Amino acid sequence: MKKRLLFFIASVLFSTQLFSGIINVPAFRQDGASWGANTLGTCTGCSLTTDGCAITCVAMLLKANGVNVDPGLLNTYLKNNSGYAYNPSGCTGNCIIYWAVPTAYTGSSMTYPNLSTTFNLATVKSEIDNGNPVILQTKSGSITHYVVIKGYNNSGTSTSDFVVVDPLKTGDQVLTNYSTDEVRIYHNVSVTNPPTLSNPTDNFQITKSNNSISFSWSSVTNAVYYEIWIDNNIGFGSPEIGFNNGASSTWLTDGIVSTNGFALTSAWQNQLPQNVYYWKVRALNASKVAITDWSTPTRNFSLLDPIPPTLSSPADNSQFTKSNNNSIPFSWSSVTNAVYYEIWIDNNIGFGSPEIGFKNGASSTWLTDGIVSTNVFALTSAWQNQLPQNVYYWKVRALNASKVAITDWSSPTIKFSLLNDISGVSRILGESNFLNIYPTSSYDKIIIETDELIKEATVVIYNTKGQEIVRQTITNSKTQIDISKLPSSTYLVKLINYNKAEVKTFIKI
């Protein structure tokens, strides 16, 4: 290995310029002021300036590996640790480098798996994509020289794309200007700490509504992209349910973003069931090849189903009359990011079929789609008069700007009674072709009337706890029952006539 000085500048240059797909390799000069004049190994007449290109290139890789080293220190280390072989030509003594020895330098995590091979552009690109700059053996006439290929621009398919650090030149060079004989390949060269997760903190909680979870992490030198995985298992095993998981990872393109912050918006939140999730991130280079390991530790956050509105008015068992100057005020708690509220009213607490409230096909014409833009709503007489006298239940849920539900229905539902009259003591709820119940003018009795003459039937009155209050046998189509001593409440009246039974409701005020 014999070279002569092409030109001499006593300096050490550290290159900090970053390129797309290029590794940050410190650019040592073999003719540096602190070591250029030192004897290379034990070879008489050979110095680092004249013949130290190989160890200068290795020193660049060690420095990129995070090792506190320079060509002068590495030269001393190799002399003291059998790192040089005898030079059979040129300089006399030991100054032919054993390529594997520098990997044992203090602080090094590099390995040299005997990768000395003929030049292949695809191999060089693959190594660089994995964070390993490559040492190239080249020739200028009969003189052997070593340089470092630290990365590439563009697609990396032409020698003109590749960037070279030459220990005898200042500034980046282009591979096209060098012969390509052999390469020396080290592994684990680039050591970059993984991104540090900073937000959200552990045990962060968020509801699945129209808001977002802001994820952020530290930037990584030379990182162009970040890959994000979200999973409900801290082991991130199979199956993944987060980003970059085959057919199910359609929330972002390959789960990769080009910034060091990311918001998990509702479009993705709504694809996740309510659960505790873990997330992690790693940095990628311009070719979307990982240049760091996954962030450690991972962070966990709880994704909760949207909290439904809390009903506050009217209270259970509130009573209202159907008049033209009276309204029923409905109100509920506001929901974050809610723009609309959808209201249903029904005479069945199960809200099954058929609905008689809002948003129920042909019968739901009281409000446009039963949707309002405030968290207070009055069921005014215009709508009350469309409802028969009865006991009703109501519920509400919150919608986003697109009128898509972002909460479940409110629970529990609220019950209220809608009465026909504005005066009187007792109100009869419900209609029937067989049985009618109405109060006397003094409102201290109710009249049980059937549409046919019956020979014998039994009338039973129950309170709201299901307890029997009155039992009476009737034999006519019209019978009075005294209710003057009953407390104010809602009651059920059951009439049984052979195999026919009818149930009605009335309210004692």
Which of 6-15, 96-105, 297-306 holds the top average pLDDT? 96-105
Query: Model confidence over 491-503: pLDDT tens digits?
Result: 888 877 655 667 7
Pick the closest to residue 301 from 281, 320, 275, 322 (CA basis): 275
41: buried, middle or exposed (CB in 10 Å: 19+, 13-18, 0-12)? buried
Mean pLDDT of 143-166: 94
* 9 in Cβ contact with 168 (< 8 Å): no
Which of 4-13, 176-185, 372-381 holds the top average pLDDT? 176-185
Mean pLDDT for the chain overall: 77
Distance of CA 450 to the CA centre of its chain: 64
* 22 in Cβ contact with 165 (< 8 Å): no
Q: What are phi and psi of 275, to 5 degrees?
A: -175, 180
d(C-alpha 128, C-alpha 25), whole Å: 12
Mean pLDDT of 365-387: 68
Sorting pLDDT into bands at 50, 70 and 90, what band is 132?
Answer: very high
Mean pLDDT of 299-308: 83
* 298 in Cβ contact with 272 (< 8 Å): no
Pick the closest to residue 74 from 52, 96, 93, 59 (CA basis): 59
Residue burial 347-367, b: 16+ Cβ < 10 Å; e: rest = beeebeeebbbbbbeeebebb
Distance of CA 440 to the CA centre of its chain: 66
Query: Model confidence over 440-481: pLDDT tens digits?
Result: 766 788 888 876 666 678 888 888 777 788 888 887 878 888
Q: What are phi and psi of 439, to 5 degrees?
A: -85, 160
Residue % of the chain over a pLDDT of 90 = 27
Residue 366 has pLDDT above 60, yes or no: no
pLDDT confidence of residue 464: 72
Query: Model confidence over 199-247: pLDDT tens digits?
Result: 888 888 888 776 677 778 888 877 888 888 777 766 554 434 444 333 3
d(C-alpha 418, C-alpha 452), whole Å: 29
Residue 261 has pLDDT above 60, yes or no: yes
pLDDT confidence of residue 402: 81
pLDDT confidence of residue 355: 40
Q: In angstroms, what is the C-alpha Rg of the chain?
A: 42
What's the Cα-to-Cα distance from 4 to each of 97, 138, 140, 182, 305, rounded to whole Å? Answer: 18, 14, 11, 20, 73
Sorting pLDDT into bands at 50, 70 and 90, what band is 303?
Answer: confident
**Is the previous residue joined to 194 through a cis bond, with omega within 30 degrees of 0?**
no
More confident residue, 11 or 193: 193
**Is the previous residue joined to 487 through a cis bond, with omega within 30 degrees of 0?**
no
Residue % of the chain over a pLDDT of 70 = 77
pLDDT confidence of residue 285: 77
Mean pLDDT of 273-300: 78
d(C-alpha 33, C-alpha 443), whole Å: 114
**Is the previous residue joined to 412 through a cis bond, with omega within 30 degrees of 0?**
yes
Sorting pLDDT into bands at 50, 70 and 90, what band is 386?
Answer: low
Which of 41-45, 376-380, 494-498 holds the top average pLDDT? 41-45
155: buried, middle or exposed (CB in 10 Å: 19+, 13-18, 0-12)? exposed
Tokens standing for residue 208? 């699945």
61 Cβ contact partners less than 8 Å away, ≥ 6 residues apart: 25, 110, 133, 135, 148, 186, 189
More confident residue, 326 or 31: 31
Mean pLDDT of 342-360: 55
